[in-house]
Structure 1
Amino acid sequence: MADGPDAGRDGRRLFAVTIDETSIGRASPEVEHERQVAIYDLVEENSFAPEAGAGGPFALHISLIDRKLVLKVSGEDGDEVVTHMLSLSPFLKILKDYFMVCESYFAAIKTSSPSQIEAIDMGRRGLHDEGAQVLAERLKGKIVVDHDTARRLFTLIAALSWKG
């Protein structure tokens, strides 16, 4: 799959992402805002295609069932293409560490030097990359995504998991 500005232009992309509110639940206004930003960023630029070979673009519906992330992929016509369930277990430690670093980052913004803030942010980005890599590995053989799309999907998983 090609990376870069033309990635996903051949129909191998998401045109919509929705969240099952009954399984995810409502959150604080701040968390809801983060979720909406994550969805917007993902839809705005992505490269996404089920291995099943169906033509796109695709809609992605995300829900949680029994501590599993459910990714339901549909075509433009609304017909289901494929549904994959991923255990959240491989992400739990990364998410815990990611949230701790994010809290440190927000605290540092108020009192720390720019170099300290930058060091914390580098750690946050490293954890974000690690989460994206784990996600890409978990999707291997199921859904083809590029690195940037895996990062955006991990952002959404983090936003869905964040308790605020």
Structure 2
Amino acid sequence: MSKRGGYRLSDVVLDESIGRSTPDVEHERAVAIFDLIEENTFEPVGHPGGPYRLKLSLLDSKLVFVITTESGGEVATHILSLTPFRRIVKDYFMICESYYQAIRSATPSQIEAIDMGRRGIHNEGSQTLMDRLSGKIVFDFDTARRLFTLVCVLYWRG
């Protein structure tokens, strides 16, 4: 676990208004949160150190990051337009649907090909998230991947 100066997330909460979704989406959410808390680098620019709590929510088609210290002290709130993510998320959902269908009936080589495409789109979304938060929050690519999964879960109402 990255503990560089306490610049890490110790808790991630998804807004309660999001509700439950399909088993596949719920599984993706749980795994992403678990993996994110287990290993991450998360440094709000200009803050002396965490660990931090992150609450993600949607407000008027915008993604809201509310960052606090473990004791609840306010650190920062960042609001991002989801417009730059629309095409990526749409493509990601389409390929995830193909992937979930494939794992039930396709050959291993077909599943692998679809999964490579899925990972490529996921990487594109992760990089977009890093770019959009540049100068606000510093995090590594693995943390960005896990955060992008959560962005998709927020976007995907099932």
Question: Equivalent residue for 2:96?
Answer: 102
What CA deviation, in whole Å up to 9, does each residue of 1:112-135 have, x standing for no partner?
Answer: 221111111000000010000000
Is the CA contact (8 Å cut-off) linking 1:54 and 1:81 kept in structure 2? no
Residue 39 (structure 2) pairs with residue 79 (structure 1) = no
Residue 137 (structure 2) pairs with residue 143 (structure 1) = yes
Using structure 1 for the length normalisation, give the TM-score.
0.89
3-state secondary structure, aligned to 2:5: coil
Question: Equivalent residue for 2:155?
Answer: 161
3-state secondary structure, aligned to 2:80: strand
Shift of residue 21 of structure 1?
0.9
Cα distance in 2 for residues equivalent to 1:18 and 1:128? 21
Cα distance in 2 for residues equivalent to 1:117 and 1:89? 30
Is the CA contact (8 Å cut-off) linking 1:74 and 1:82 kept in structure 2? yes
What CA deviation, in whole Å up to 9, does each residue of 1:30-77 have, x standing for no partner?
Answer: 133432322112111110010123311111011111111110111122
The percent identity for this pair of structures is 60
Is the CA contact (8 Å cut-off) linking 2:57 and 2:154 kept in structure 1? no
Is the CA contact (8 Å cut-off) linking 1:13 and 1:46 kept in structure 2? yes
* Structure 2: gaps of 5 or more residues: none
Cα distance in 1 for residues equivalent to 2:59 and 2:53? 19
Shift of residue 159 of structure 1?
1.7
Cα distance in 2 for residues equivalent to 1:93 and 1:29? 21
Using structure 2 for the length normalisation, give the TM-score.
0.92
Superposition pairs for residues 26-45 of structure 1, below 5 Å? 26-28=19-21, 30=23, 31-45=25-39
Cα distance in 2 for residues equivalent to 1:57 and 1:113? 44
Question: Equivalent residue for 2:123?
Answer: 129
Aligned length: 157
Question: Equivalent residue for 1:21?
Answer: 16
Note the aligned Cα RMSD (angstroms).
1.5
Shift of residue 111 of structure 1?
2.4
